[in-house]
Amino acid sequence: MTTNGKTVLITGADGGLGRDMAACLAEAGWSLILVDRSSTIGQLPELLGLASYQAQTRQCDLADEAQLDALCKEVSEGTLRCDALINNAGISSYGRDGQRLSIDEIDRNHLQNVLAINLIAPFLLSRAALPHMRERGWGRLIHIASRGGRTFSEVFPSSFSASKSGLIGLSRSIAGESARFGITSNVIAPGVIITPQSGKVDPALLSQAKIPAQRYGQPAEITGAVAYLLSDAAGFTTGAVMDINGGAFMPS
């Protein structure tokens, strides 16, 4: 992958998928802006063995309006350069026992929190990054949705599915509006990938997914697709949804 020192901003960078993306993209020569609400995000570059010039970090709770606005301001004012944006941070809706919450158990606050992180933050960060991408005539947006945004399954809470389906619609609109500027916008919709997030779901519930590959995925199997979508070779790929789920969802 030729990066020419480009910079990618990754949200949810301190999670299972985020860390793998950060390590792989740094290795490929990208400069990184690593964003997470976790208290350990500042230590992530050292943990990954990155030089200080390779990575900046921002501790930001994307559900907090003031913190998200401050981050978007840095992006829109160009303090944080953003050639590519990976909207990866996301939460789901499970009870303490890892059981799926039914629609009757999801109140307005819970719904608003899921939508704030999974949909509103990606919308506002994309909006902040796009003008600079248009000026440069090059940009990449990747949104990490889920199989839950593509189809029904007993595994997915309704709030989560609604947010991820919305993210897919957002990506499609950005793709249509931005293709003529050399900007692509694509979705990766993973099935079960072994990370802290899937680890919080009751294993019996997760195992209901009928996966032809008969296994769960590894973060590297998502990162490989991310690396492709960021590359110049993917310049004609926009508005796409890559279903990466071991065959658990195969639309016609």
Ligand X SMILES: NC(=O)C1=CN([C@@H]2O[C@H](COP(=O)(O)OP(=O)(O)OC[C@H]3O[C@@H](n4cnc5c(N)ncnc54)[C@H](O)[C@@H]3O)[C@@H](O)[C@H]2O)C=CC1
C-alpha 181/C-alpha 179 separation (Å) is 5
Q: Per rule CB under 6 A, is residue 245 in the interface with ligand LTTKRYJ7?
A: yes
C-alpha 198/C-alpha 200 separation (Å) is 5
Q: Per rule CB under 6 A, is residue 197 in the interface with ligand LTTKRYJ7?
A: yes
Q: Per rule CB under 6 A, is residue 17 in the interface with ligand X?
A: yes
Taking the complex as a whole, how short is the minimal distance between the CB of residue 156 and ligand LTTKRYJ7, in angstroms?
Answer: 6
Q: Per rule CB under 6 A, is residue 192 in the interface with ligand LTTKRYJ7?
A: yes
95 vs 235, which CB is nearer to ligand X?
Answer: 95
58 vs 143, which CB is nearer to ligand LTTKRYJ7?
Answer: 143
**From residue 140, how far is each of 11, 15, 180, 228 by CA, in Å?**
14, 21, 13, 11
Task: Name the residue with tokens 């889920």.
Answer: 146
* CB neighbour list of residue 138: distance below 8 Å, 6 or more residues apart: 83, 182, 183
Element (H, E) at 18: helix 16-27
Number of residues in contact with ligand X under rule CB under 6 A: 27
Mode of pairing for the β-strands spanning 139-144 and 84-87: parallel
Site track for ligand X across 18-57, x = CB under 6 A: x-----------------xxx-------------------
In the set 57, 76, 118, 146, which binds ligand LTTKRYJ7 (CB under 6 A)?
146
